[in-house]
Every structure is written in C-alpha cells, then in structure tokens.
Amino acid sequence: MSYSYLLLLIKDRIDSPPPGSKMISSQSMHLCRSMTMHHNAPRSGRMISNRIQRLMFSSGSTTYYDSQSGQHVSIHDETKITAYSRKDDGTVTGAPSSAIWEAAKEMGMAGSIITLPQQLQHDFIKSLGSSSNSNNFLHILTSQYYDLVAKEKQLLIPPNINLCFEYNNNDSEYISSNVQSAMANFDGIQTSIGIFNPTYLLDDDPMLVAAQIASIIDTTSEFGGTISNILVAPITDNDDALSKSGTCDDELVQLCEELSYLDVPGSTIKSRLVVSALSSDQLDECLQMGITKYIIDTSDDSKSLESRLDMLRDAVEENGKELILE
C-alpha cells in the first residue's frame, strides 16, 4: 500500500463520521444530527483526530488531498497556537493608529484585526501595508464593499491584508457575491467571514448560523475561491445584548462546535477559525477542540493586552501546546 494512498484513506475516514456522530452537510444546507448523541462525544472524536494527526505528522507529510476541492491542503497542526490583536479605538472615523499593529508586532503576534473606517480615506489601505505582520484582517461591512471598489479602482491591496466580510444572516448571498467580486477585482486577495455581532451568538440557533456559513463557503468554492478564515469575535458595541448578558463564552464554544462539524471543500473548519479569547474556561474548550488562532481584544479597559495574552499563554501551557510568538 503506497503512502499517498494511506493518507487518502485516513482522510476519508476523518470525512466519514461513524454512526451516531453528528455532522452538518453544507450541500443544500441540510442539517443531520443524531438525537442520541452524548454531550461528551465531540471530545472523544477529538482524541481520535489527534491520534490520526500525530500519525500523519510523524510520517513527515505536511499536506493531504481534499477530494471536494481537488486540492492538496495543509495538515492542521493543533499544537501551534497564534494570537492576533484587536483594538477599536480610532478605527471608525479615521485611519487606524499604527500602534495597533506595532503592539502586536512587539509582542510577537501573528497579526491584527482592523475595522474599515466608515469614511474611507485615500491612504487607508496603503497604511495597512506598512505593517510587517504576516496577516492583518480588515473588518469590512458588506455595505462598505462597493465604496472600497468604486473609490479605489486602482487599489492594490497588500498581500498581508485579508478582507473579512462581516456576517449578516440576511445577506449571505450578498456576502458571497462580494467575495466573488473581490476575487475578480483584487488579484490573489484573501477573503474571510467575521461573526462580530453578539446577537448571532446569543439569539440565533448555532446550527443555522453554521449552515449559512457553509453555504457561503460552498458558493465561493464553486467560483474557484476560498474562505480562508472564519472569525468568531463578538464586539459589544454592535448590540447591547452582550453588555446585558455579561458574557457569551458558552455560546461562542457552541457555535465553534457546530462550525467544526461542517463538511466543506478545502481545509478543516477548525484550522480556519479565529476566535476571541474571553475566559480561561472558554479557551480550554476551544483548545481541546483544535482551534489554534485567538484574538486578544484590547478594547476592554478592564484587562490589558499583556494580561489577556498571559491568560492565553496559561491555557495553552495547561493543554500541552505551544504559543508561537515571533
């Protein structure tokens, strides 16, 4: 038996869950679920996935063949954890301060999440390119995309910028069309989806939200594109529901679990997830789930960037993983 065939067989086993497991099939947004599934089943599934992952890494392979996308995709290393910073101050009405990504750089973070100003300025995108971080997510509302293209027709988006379209449960088709347009207008552009409004965590069924995300991914894939990341990072300013409830840690974990069950083309969902670091318990659940990218939100004055990063570092160490700070 050839080694490549063995890897393909392992991948097929991963993609074909055993009887009694729960999954979401993104095609036609059909949702299938076992009513007899126990709450702790995902964790046992993670153990199997981790054993398979160790087998594949020990053999020296770094990619596997994904039959849905027809591409070789990277094996997700669940032991390497990275962090991103986000600070909302100064990003709504004007160009963001370079302090946002400079702080991230000084602390060795992988990048930043930056909000597109409501009034787009001429040098805004170019200023983002001055960051030496490997990946900056540009949070953009779907309603802002037309202005981005119309006002910056000759714009060259730097390779370290990832256009992150904010999710809206009423505009999934519009988001898909904007992603396709971005791929056509900006050569080699990276595109992501961001779930920033806490309403979708607190009020909506996580299975339905996951199904809509799957639909966007499928539509994008049909046109030759890729949703590189899915950000789950609630912003309190979007709605007062989060400030009233005080936290959405459990809801974030539930949504991430539902997203991780999606069977979509390309890399695994857990390798694409970028989630807020809200609490130690939430981090512990997400790390055990195999999520490796975390947002350190500095808009909350109660905790500094350093203390939130320490919280992430402690959770990573307790789970036997490594926080990568360059």
Each residue's pLDDT expressed in tens, for the chain with a length of 326 residues: 444 444 444 444 444 444 433 343 433 333 433 332 334 444 444 444 444 444 444 456 787 766 666 677 778 899 999 999 987 544 444 445 566 667 777 888 998 898 877 665 556 666 666 665 568 898 987 777 777 766 555 566 777 789 999 998 877 788 888 888 888 777 778 899 999 999 999 999 999 999 999 999 998 888 888 899 999 999 876 445 554 445 799 999 999 999 999 988 888 999 999 999 999 999 999 999 999 999 998 754 445 778 889 999 999 999 999 999 97
Closest CA relative to residue 289, chosen from 254, 257, 246, 263: 257
User: What letter does residue 186 receive in the DSSP assignment?
Assistant: S
Query: How distant, in Å, are the alpha carbons of 20, 253, 289 from that of 32?
Result: 11, 20, 20
Name the strand (E) or helix (H) holding 84.
Answer: strand 80-86
For residues 13 and 52, give the distance between their C-alpha atoms in angstroms, rounded to a whole number: 10
CB-based contacts of 137: which residues, under 8 Å, 6+ apart? 84, 111, 112, 113, 114, 162, 164, 192, 194, 229, 231, 274
For residues 69 and 216, give the distance between their C-alpha atoms in angstroms, rounded to a whole number: 15
CB atoms within 10 A of CB 91: 21
CA atoms within 13 A on the CB side of 231: 32
pTM given for the model: 0.78
What was the pLDDT predicted at 22?
38
236 residue type, one letter? T
Ranges assigned E (strand) in 264-307: 273-276, 293-297
Report the sign of the C-alpha dihedral through residues 52, 55, 58, 62, in that order. Answer: negative
